[in-house]
């Protein structure tokens, strides 16, 4: 379904708190229709738990998924601030600058920053 891409949200993260996140590349098996999405939740103890949930959902829609790396997100909804930092031991560090650009599409009125800090 060509509309499937629109049904996939750019960002799905917890509304508050500090939690692990991953940057995931979706693409059609034929290489068309490629995009990156951000997924993060405090429910995931490890980064691969997030990927293991996202992957089957996206495969059902006809996408191949690749994890481009991970890190942490500190989401302060009260002050409208998001900080992206850290890395994933298993997947390596995501390009946080890419993550920030994706977050900005959704959280348009937020102050969004990133750093390579571990904490």
Q: Which residues are catalytic?
A: 47
Radius of gyration of the chain (CA): 14
Dist CA 42 CA 59 (whole Å): 23
Is 20 annotated to bind a ligand? Reply is yes
Consecutive H or E run containing 22? strand 17-27
Q: Are strands 35-41 and 11-13 parallel, antiparallel or unpaired?
A: parallel
Report the helix count and the strand count for the chain, using DSSP H and E. 3, 6
Question: Which residue positions form the known binding site for substrate?
Answer: 20
């Amino acid at each position: 379904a060509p509309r499937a891409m629109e049904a996939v949200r750019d960002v799905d993260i917890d509304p508050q708190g500090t939690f692990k996140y991953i940057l995931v590349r979706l693409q059609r098996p034929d290489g068309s229709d490629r995009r990156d999405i951000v997924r993060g939740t405090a429910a995931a103890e490890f980064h691969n738990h997030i990927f293991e949930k996202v992957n089957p959902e996206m495969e059902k829609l006809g996408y191949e998924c690749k994890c481009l790396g991970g890190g942490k997100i500190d989401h302060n909804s009260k002050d409208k601030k998001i900080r992206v930092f850290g890395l994933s031991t298993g997947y390596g560090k995501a390009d946080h600058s890419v993550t920030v650009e994706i977050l900005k599409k959704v959280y348009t009125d937020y102050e969004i920053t990133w750093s390579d800090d571990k904490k």
